[in-house]
Amino acid sequence: MKLAAHYNRVNIIATLSVLVFGAIIYYFAINQIATKLLDDHLSEEVSEVLGYIDANQRLPKEADFDEDQTRFYKVNGKPLPTRFYDTVYIKTKLVSNRSGRAVEGSVLFKGDLYRFTIIISKEGTENFVQIIAMITLALMLGLFLILFLTNRYLLNGLWQPFYKTLGQLKAFNIEAPAKFLGGNTKVDEFKELDNAVYIMTNRVASDYQNLKQFTENASHEMMTPLSVITAKLDTLIQDETLQQEQFEQITDIYSAAGKLARLSQSLLLLVKIENDQIADIERLDLEQLVNEKLKQFQELFASKVIIINVSLANKEVQASRYLVDILLNNLFSNAVRHNVNGGRLNIYLNSGQLIFQNQGTATALDGEKIFDRFQKGNSSEGVGLGLTIVKNICHSYGWKLAYKYTDGLHTFIIQF
């Protein structure tokens, strides 16, 4: 849900709650005031009735006070306290009964005690309260409608600079950063946001270019002396006058130099994958690529007498041929390097998965760390980046990579 819609919903719910709650309180308050006015009117009627009795020395008839219904009943006992209450206003001219307000009390006349009741109609007051309620309700509905339209249209327009800024951030390409233009707004908060984004994108682009240049230069500068060292070691190894001890030492140096070269290449490759610098995507026949890789590794399979079990289905993927070749190469190398002599290697490919299963150590590997950098066994001669590269390649194409150990087999599963 968009922020404007969320704000609109919260604002409307809060406004509606306040309006409903306020309307209820307002209605009861108006009703209470109206009742108080009726009671004041009844009190004046009582004063008029008592004045009439004093002036005329007789009890008034009901018709003596227009619409008011005044009745007297002779009673015995103590004087009654004056009280006001709601009742029914009955009048023969009316088709139906109406609600009324009454006052009850007692008066002493010529030595006798009389209970009197005066009833007046509440119709006029109720109509007045209803009119006020209708006007109030109409005002509230109008206010509610104005708030809704304001939130829906004016606030959406207010957020447009934010969405423009967001759109530019989504389209930001660190390989070819475009100049950030901002949302062209007069709102101070959005201006600060645009300014912060502008500074951030410039800094990120600058840092990226510096890091990219450093990585490429460092890799190039490392590979040049390594190539010289390897070439000279090649010459030394072929020297037949070397003693056995010297030959072994030179061989160790040659191996270490080769490992350092592979490490440099692997780190540079990881940087390129993580920064999405390899974009030669094309449709690839994965079944064909796996079969080609099987042929390339035949000699290694034979050297460890590995039993191959292959079941491949037709599967095409959209990916870089260079990266898929590295992915398969690492999976095959991993399956051979960590396999046992005479072990098994199962390779399955279907429309949803590519599975490699190989024998190796009799215990499960740490599934949480196996794909981390420089995680390798003590006996491994690799640089510890092969599975990390596989993981990053899968991640760059949205494929899922998993490991599990079942029935004595280390299983690596790629889900497309």
Return the SS3 of 342: coil
Give CB contacts under 8 A, 24+ apart, made by 391-394: 392/270, 392/273, 392/274, 393/273, 393/323, 393/324, 393/326, 393/327, 394/327
Please report the pLDDT score of residue 92 as a whole number.
61
pLDDT in tens, 39-55: 998 899 889 888 888 88
Report which of 189, 261, 188 is spatially closest to residue 228, judged by C-alpha positions: 261
Mean pLDDT confidence for 90-111? 79
10 Å Cβ neighbour count for 131? 10
Determine the Cα–Cα distance for residues 80 and 379; give it in Å rounded to an integer. Answer: 110
Determine the Cα–Cα distance for residues 23 and 7; give it in Å rounded to an integer. Answer: 24
b/e per residue, 191-205, with b = 16+ CB within 10 A? eebbeebbeebeeeb
Which amino acid appears at position 97 of this protein? N
Report which of 103, 120, 132 is spatially closest to residue 33, judged by C-alpha positions: 132
Query: In this structure, what token pair is assigned to residue 359?
Result: 């024998």
10 Å Cβ neighbour count for 291? 14
Question: What are residue 356's DSSP bridge partners?
Answer: 347, 412
- Stated as kind and residue range, the H or E segment containing 309 is strand 307-312
Confidence label for 294 from pLDDT (cuts 50, 70 and 90): very high
Please report the pLDDT score of residue 90 as a whole number.
78
Query: In this structure, what token pair is assigned to residue 227?
Result: 């190539």
Determine the Cα–Cα distance for residues 396 and 165; give it in Å rounded to an integer. Answer: 26
- Biggest CA pair distance of the chain: 156
Contact 178, 22 (CB under 8 A): no
Residue 347 pLDDT exceeds 90: yes
Mean pLDDT confidence for 10-35? 84
Please report the pLDDT score of residue 356 as a whole number.
94
How many Cα atoms within 13 Å fall on the side-chain side of residue 299? 1
Confidence label for 83 from pLDDT (cuts 50, 70 and 90): very high
Query: In this structure, what token pair is assigned to residue 276?
Result: 């999405």
| Distance (Å) of CA 214 to CA 177, 210, 225, 234 | 19, 6, 17, 30
Mean pLDDT confidence for 139-162? 80
Please report the pLDDT score of residue 230 as a whole number.
84
Percent of the chain with pLDDT over 70: 94
Determine the Cα–Cα distance for residues 153 and 7; give it in Å rounded to an integer. Answer: 13
pLDDT in tens, 207-260: 888 877 777 777 777 777 888 888 888 888 888 887 888 888 888 888 888 888
